[in-house]
Structure 1
Amino acid sequence: MKLSILIILLFITYTAFAQQKHKLTVDEKTGKPMLMGEVSRQAFQDSSFASWFNTQYKFYKPDVKIEEELAPKLKDKKIEIVMGTWCSDSRREVPRFLKVLDEANFPDSSLEIITINRKIKSIDGEVDSLGIERVPTIIVYENGKELGRIIETPIETLEKDLENIVKKPKK
């Protein structure tokens, strides 16, 4: 009995102090739901976002050859995605990019997704120092140092641009 009460109290304490890193708000321009702040990919399964996310994810076909070469090069990398759920480029490119990462077995623990408003602002100012002007902006890091970015749309393909970033010689 005491163990049950302890477990219940621990659960209540955990849920009371758990902080939500993002919020669902309304886009003033369209009146549609918009995410703000740090999100996990599960946030895109909300009914407001699932249709565009799942469609783009499902139908994108990354280059298998590049994927095989890319996977070992992503080891020890961190990737940060800054996007707007209001932005058509973000709605197209981010699900596709996540598919590239999934097929390269990139761990979610090394991925950070930050959603912003139309003024390029996030909840806690996480992106203020990043110099973001257009979204999505995908930033690749190694040992805390920025290796490169994919901004708005890829130059070639998402997987090829990512490969070009991680294979650059270190300075």
Structure 2
Amino acid sequence: MLSWLSIMSAAFGVSVLSAVLPLISIELFIVALMLNKPETSWWQLALVVASGQILGKLLYYFVGRGTVGLPKFLHREKKPSGRWARRLDGFRSACHDRPVWTTGVLLTSSFVSLPPFVAVSVVAGVARVPLRLFIATGLAGRFVRFSLVASVPGVLGAWWF
């Protein structure tokens, strides 16, 4: 019999791994876990998984910010200049001048994954979005998303059976 701590630890580990390697589907893991262990608290699982996802996405955020270095083969030979540098500066200032828009994009992406949250994590780092805003919006959106995913097996099971 698996204990609550071992279930949550496994969920946290898989969520961090799926945040770093987007080919791993945390949603499928959550559904499988809830079908196998229906007594698991959906909101606790959603909170643990959302926390692990944000921890993993922080790697992308810090790569975009330039704090975490990339392997040598992924480095550009020169910094963006000219038109691209102006666009990047314009995007940074738009993010800082329109915090409601920035918050909306972060919340939408973390909840719906459109645009993909992994890409938005990098862009948020590049745009120098405040770390507190990135974490707060990411946690909120991911918690709601995974709450819905975790509760679906129980709701459908009660509805059909």
Is the shorter-chain TM-score for this pair beyond 0.5, marking a shared fold? no
TM-score range normalised by the length of the shorter chain: 0.3 to 0.5
TM-score norm. by structure 2 comes to 0.33
Please identify which structure carries the higher strand content: 1
TM-score norm. by structure 1 comes to 0.32
